[in-house]
Structure 1
Amino acid sequence: MMTDIQIARQAVKLPIAEVAAGLGLSPADILPYGHDKAKITHAAIAALQGRAPGRLVLVTAINPTPAGEGKTTTTVGLGDALNRIGKRTTICIREASLGPNFGMKGGAAGGGRAQIVPMEDMNLHFTGDFHAITSAHNLLAAMIDNHIYWGNELNIDSRRIAWRRVMDMNDRALRDVALGLGGVANGFPRQSGFDITVASEVMAILCLARDLADLQDRLGRIVIGYTRDRTPITARDLQADGAMTVLLKDALQPNLVQTLENNPALVHGGPFGNIAHGCNSVIATRAALAMSDYVVTEAGFGADLGAEKFLDIKCRMAGLTPSVAVLVATIRALKMNGGTARADLGHQDAAAVTRGCANLGRHIENLHGFGLPVVVALNHFDGDSPAEIAALQDCCAAHGVKAILARHWAEGGAGAEDLAREVTALVEGNSVDFHKLYPDTMPLWQKIETICTRIYRAAHAEAAPGVREQLARWEEAGHAKMPVCIAKTQYSFTTDPAIRGAPEGHIIPVREVRLNAGAGFVVAICGEIMTMPGLPSRPAAQTITLDAEGQVEGLF
């Protein structure tokens, strides 16, 4: 059996100008990065304004397990299948972070016969967007300390600086650091830390900005800290927003690549779904909708995190209305949710599937709560037994949805045509009554409580000392209408990653809140979730190298 990277290397890729032409883009509308990837220019994006949009398909999943769900693989396979049945379709996904690539999760290009290429480029430095975001973020950090060093005209209270530094790598040793050590020439000592780049507010801003002007306006609104009397200090006060925009000018342009079947894909932005809003960029999604009949996009991790944030944050800010939700599940993952140990997943156990379907059912109910039609995509694995598949289908039928067996990993778009036909039937046969979980006018703490009780089925949320007071101050400062981004473990409806299935009645502890004034939302950090992950005991980096021909080995 060939690995993902071996399959990707066998791809017969079209020149990227031909892929662009299929979207109606001329050579002047793209900036090629080699022969197989390009950016769509700002001018071309602007020219798309006003076109009637296509239909938006959201792909999400059950809570992830080590057994795997294949959300990105399904997104790619479904996009290929829709094109095969005559629907002009573009795929929109996020870029990959180096942290998971060299850690344990892996890449973000799909797998098997349902991949986006060039896979190696996508999973490594790609077109440099993450480096630009890291540089813009850290430029602001440097300007904060430099301003204090040269007299602190703005009277920034160094104890109340909220802007940390970032890097695109898992490194637990950088979670808490001391800055400015070594004497007067190095500035004033203070405690700070690093987050991973995908958690940066600059990443969120790039993914939510409409254009360069909106990008700079949002960057200028970033609150970096406060004075002693709690007056907020912004990036605009430091006159950093202009230079940050310059660093991000090219990064704001969406990246165009292709699937193994030569269908177009826009890969842009990369916030994690567990610690950020977990969606690709608004500018890419809107551009794809203007050029396509259908757009298939995904939201990070399980539907309780990624889908909720996609619907309550991205759709709210961008004015998007999805037509259908595709919920990805595997027999293996359902068995783990039903209590089967990972070592025993090869044994047939329809009863465990039935028990694990409680998790699936909870996600179906939540998506229906937004007014969306739902179809379950059963991402097929070798070894799935007819009895186990029947158990899943029975569960779905009890919730009023269909479960469609999809073999895109092994067969590409041809293996997902049944799924594509069900998606089109739902899209073209239903009028969607899409609605958000909460109104803008709801108080911030009540928004947190609403997500915790209605999506996670918690008894209530519990605020650490000072959290509710901080939220009240932000409301008084004019941020009351912001949506909320919950940062918590992706593995469970609770904040304990070991509790699978569909628990209810638990407590969600909110230990910290952060104001993302430029991005336009408040982050509630819950449980033990980290905004700077660490590497596992045996990181993937240990097996990644170059072979004798200079090709990458060990990257999937």
Structure 2
Amino acid sequence: MKDIEIAQQAKMDKITKIAEKAGLSSDQIEQYGDYKAKIKLPVKENSKSGKLILVTSINPTPAGEGKSTVTVGLGDAFSLLKKKTVIALREPSLGPVMGMKGGATGGGYSQVVPMEDINLHFTGDMHALTTANNTLSALIDNHIYQGNKLHLDQRRILWKRVLDINDRALRHVVIGIGGPTQGIPREDGFDITVASELMAILCLAEDIADLKKRIGRIVIGYTTDKEPVTVAQLGVTGAISLLLKDALKPNLVQTLAHTPAIIHGGPFANIAHGCNSVLATQTGLKLADYTLTEAGFGADLGAEKFLDIKTPVLGKTPDTIVVVATVRALKMHGGKPKNALKEEDLSALTAGYANLQKHVANMRRYNIPVVVAINQFSSDTEAELKHLKELCESDGTPALVADVWAKGGKGAIELAEKVSQLCEEKHDFKPLYAPEDDLQEKVEKIVTQIYGGANVVYGTKALRQLKDFKTLGWDHLPVCMAKTQYSLSDDPKAIGAPRDFTIHVREFVPKLGAGFVVALTGNVLTMPGLPKVPAANEMNLSNDGIISGLY
């Protein structure tokens, strides 16, 4: 049975019942129909000191890893163990939903529902972010057209328009053509909405006041004298903030097993910081004994950014890190072609294990307990599952099989018991870099210690920016690496665990509102394209309103 069919046959509880289960009264939520709600802020503190579990994974492959599926299944397993549990996930982007992978709400019997709503328009957060971002773009171009009091250099506008769909034709455009009443012509471009700095701000803001402060700090471009210009100087902080008033509130839904799930914010981890909102995670920690959250793509991207960018704002480090791997994906990292993955191959599995081994070592480097979750597929053989467990255990890493796609929470009971045990271990979190390290030091620590690279080569523009950012006082901000998700290197074809490679930083982008600097590496794109056969080709809507083909 397909994921969407399982989800459509589920009997959901009313959202008021889920809120009550989470510890929220009906007065603390705003209902969006029977099965979705916004959580009103702030959520009152309680005496709980909830445990935080971060779920991450190996580098993704076309074989699938199932990080969200494991997160949901593990959360349901905690619920079955009578632990008060909240799951905190990111919102899907329409780009991947319509593009390569379809839905993004877990799979099988480990899903969040209503999956169609969550994957499509949900509560309108993505639309609000797109509108706020493009309102700022319109205000910038209107300011230039109406006399340009701030002396913005139209060749040095940093702020781009956005769209929440993969559209490669919009990566580089020219606007304002058609005569003097159509605006001032200039080059522009579109990012995908989840790469917008406003998305990062929404996910890092602690309240409305912090949201406004961060929006005001956004650098929209430079003057003709190369001085930075901010949203606050443009005088539109309030207008952009009010468009995000409702989007700032976390969204409450449920799993198939009726575990409360907070789904809020969705920055990509390959081009942004890849974590759900601080407010969603904090809300879970205030309400539950165990909060399970995930970070996008592999541990080299999402987990590193969770630990080095989100954790300082959150004020809480994970008590345990779960690294998700599959036999199928590791065989691909070991050189096995996708069309042969159903064949038992212990040698390919052993070779591909190097990728998992590196990610586990990276997470241990932060001095947090780590466990491997082997997400079971029906094609996995007993010999392969046993071999992978032995490989992990030979490195001193506990590894447990999670059969959550087929069994839901029941398939992750042993994993939940182990995670619960590890959460009780005392640990002293060790960040990767110190706040006083400069940008170059931070980049090089990420490349050498997390990726396993040997050195960093900076392009001419990046070298010039390092000097400029030092003059402007931006040289000690955290670094958000924009890199391919498919490899530890910046070459998507370098699978497994490549060593001693060079990372190429072509450009830095200041995101002062978010509070970090983005380093663009290799050929990473901030507006993806659609594949030859998009997932959208399989989607349909019946005459009686039933959706099909959504993963």
TM-score bracket for the superposition, by shorter chain length: over 0.9
The answer to whether structure 1 residue 301 and structure 2 residue 297 are counterparts is yes
Separation in structure 2 between the aligned mates of residue 468 and residue 89 of structure 1, nearest angstrom: 47
1:51 Cα offset (Å):
4.8
Counterpart residue identity of residue 87, structure 1: K
- The answer as to whether partners of 1:94 and 1:108 remain within 8 angstroms in 2 is no
Q: Aligned to 1:480, which of 471, 475, 481?
A: 475
Residue of structure 1 equivalent to 2:10: 11
Residue of structure 1 equivalent to 2:417: 421
Q: 439-448 or 462-471: which moved more?
A: 462-471
Residue of structure 1 equivalent to 2:434: 439
Separation in structure 2 between the aligned mates of residue 52 and residue 348 of structure 1, nearest angstrom: 47
What are the superposed Cα offsets for residues 340-397 of structure 1, whole Å, 9 maximum, x if unpaired?
0001001101111111100010001100001111110000111211221122112101
Any residues of structure 2 matched to 1:309-348 within 5 Å, and which?
309-348=305-344
Any residues of structure 2 matched to 1:350-369 within 5 Å, and which?
350-369=346-365
Q: 1:479–1:53: structure 2 CA closer, same or farther, 3 Å change rule?
A: farther
The answer to whether structure 1 residue 407 and structure 2 residue 397 are counterparts is no
Q: 1:228–1:70: structure 2 CA closer, same or farther, 3 Å change rule?
A: same
1:159 Cα offset (Å):
1.1
1:46 Cα offset (Å):
4.5
The answer to whether structure 1 residue 135 and structure 2 residue 131 are counterparts is yes
Separation in structure 2 between the aligned mates of residue 74 and residue 160 of structure 1, nearest angstrom: 44
Any residues of structure 2 matched to 1:159-178 within 5 Å, and which?
159-178=155-174
1:52 Cα offset (Å):
4.2
Residue of structure 2 equivalent to 1:47: 44
Separation in structure 2 between the aligned mates of residue 53 and residue 160 of structure 1, nearest angstrom: 47
The secondary structure found in structure 1 opposite 2:232 is: coil
Separation in structure 1 between the aligned mates of residue 178 and residue 165 of structure 2, nearest angstrom: 26
Separation in structure 2 between the aligned mates of residue 106 and residue 373 of structure 1, nearest angstrom: 33
- The answer as to whether partners of 2:48 and 2:287 remain within 8 angstroms in 1 is no
Residue of structure 1 equivalent to 2:188: 192
The answer to whether structure 1 residue 459 and structure 2 residue 454 are counterparts is yes
The secondary structure found in structure 2 opposite 1:325 is: strand
- Consecutive unaligned residues in structure 1, runs of 5 or more: none
Separation in structure 2 between the aligned mates of residue 233 and residue 383 of structure 1, nearest angstrom: 56
The answer to whether structure 1 residue 471 and structure 2 residue 446 are counterparts is no
Any residues of structure 2 matched to 1:49-64 within 5 Å, and which?
51-64=47-60
Residue of structure 1 equivalent to 2:19: 20
Counterpart residue identity of residue 120, structure 2: L
- The answer as to whether partners of 1:485 and 1:523 remain within 8 angstroms in 2 is yes
Residue of structure 1 equivalent to 2:369: 373
The answer to whether structure 1 residue 510 and structure 2 residue 505 are counterparts is yes
Residue of structure 1 equivalent to 2:550: 555
Residue of structure 1 equivalent to 2:538: 543
Separation in structure 1 between the aligned mates of residue 248 and residue 513 of structure 2, nearest angstrom: 16
Separation in structure 2 between the aligned mates of residue 528 and residue 160 of structure 1, nearest angstrom: 21
Q: Aligned to 1:232, which of 228, 232, 244?
A: 228
1:139 Cα offset (Å):
0.8
The secondary structure found in structure 2 opposite 1:499 is: coil
Separation in structure 2 between the aligned mates of residue 302 and residue 232 of structure 1, nearest angstrom: 34
Separation in structure 2 between the aligned mates of residue 36 and residue 383 of structure 1, nearest angstrom: 35
1:106 Cα offset (Å):
2.2
RMSD: 1.0
The secondary structure found in structure 1 opposite 2:234 is: coil
Separation in structure 1 between the aligned mates of residue 185 and residue 513 of structure 2, nearest angstrom: 27
What are the superposed Cα offsets for residues 119-159 of structure 1, whole Å, 9 maximum, x if unpaired?
00000000000000011111111111000101011111111
Counterpart residue identity of residue 11, structure 2: V
- The answer as to whether partners of 1:447 and 1:483 remain within 8 angstroms in 2 is yes
Separation in structure 2 between the aligned mates of residue 205 and residue 459 of structure 1, nearest angstrom: 32
Q: 1:486–1:47: structure 2 CA closer, same or farther, 3 Å change rule?
A: same
The answer to whether structure 1 residue 125 and structure 2 residue 121 are counterparts is yes
Q: Aligned to 1:109, which of 95, 105, 108?
A: 105
Separation in structure 2 between the aligned mates of residue 96 and residue 131 of structure 1, nearest angstrom: 12
- The answer as to whether partners of 2:58 and 2:325 remain within 8 angstroms in 1 is yes
Counterpart residue identity of residue 318, structure 1: L
- The answer as to whether partners of 2:334 and 2:352 remain within 8 angstroms in 1 is yes
Q: Name segments (4+ residues, structure 1) moved above 4 Å.
A: none
The answer to whether structure 1 residue 79 and structure 2 residue 78 are counterparts is no
The secondary structure found in structure 2 opposite 1:225 is: strand
Q: Aligned to 1:449, which of 444, 448, 451?
A: 444
Separation in structure 2 between the aligned mates of residue 331 and residue 463 of structure 1, nearest angstrom: 37
Separation in structure 2 between the aligned mates of residue 47 and residue 280 of structure 1, nearest angstrom: 20
Residue of structure 2 equivalent to 1:146: 142
Residue of structure 2 equivalent to 1:279: 275
Q: 27-36 or 472-481: which moved more?
A: 472-481
Separation in structure 1 between the aligned mates of residue 32 and residue 498 of structure 2, nearest angstrom: 47
What are the superposed Cα offsets for residues 175-199 of structure 1, whole Å, 9 maximum, x if unpaired?
0000100010011111010000000
- The answer as to whether partners of 1:223 and 1:515 remain within 8 angstroms in 2 is yes
Q: 175-184 or 459-468: which moved more?
A: 459-468
Residue of structure 1 equivalent to 2:28: 29
- The answer as to whether partners of 1:97 and 1:198 remain within 8 angstroms in 2 is yes
Separation in structure 2 between the aligned mates of residue 462 and residue 395 of structure 1, nearest angstrom: 35
- The answer as to whether partners of 1:364 and 1:399 remain within 8 angstroms in 2 is no
1:479 Cα offset (Å):
2.1
The secondary structure found in structure 2 opposite 1:455 is: helix
- The answer as to whether partners of 1:278 and 1:310 remain within 8 angstroms in 2 is yes
1:317 Cα offset (Å):
2.2
The answer to whether structure 1 residue 349 and structure 2 residue 349 are counterparts is no
Residue of structure 2 equivalent to 1:253: 249
Residue of structure 1 equivalent to 2:214: 218
Q: 1:53–1:182: structure 2 CA closer, same or farther, 3 Å change rule?
A: farther
Separation in structure 1 between the aligned mates of residue 478 and residue 49 of structure 2, nearest angstrom: 25
Q: 153-162 or 248-257: which moved more?
A: 153-162
Residue of structure 1 equivalent to 2:496: 501
The secondary structure found in structure 1 opposite 2:473 is: helix
Separation in structure 1 between the aligned mates of residue 470 and residue 406 of structure 2, nearest angstrom: 51
Counterpart residue identity of residue 402, structure 1: P
Separation in structure 2 between the aligned mates of residue 197 and residue 263 of structure 1, nearest angstrom: 29
Counterpart residue identity of residue 8, structure 1: A
The secondary structure found in structure 2 opposite 1:346 is: coil
Separation in structure 2 between the aligned mates of residue 46 and residue 324 of structure 1, nearest angstrom: 25
1:548 Cα offset (Å):
3.3
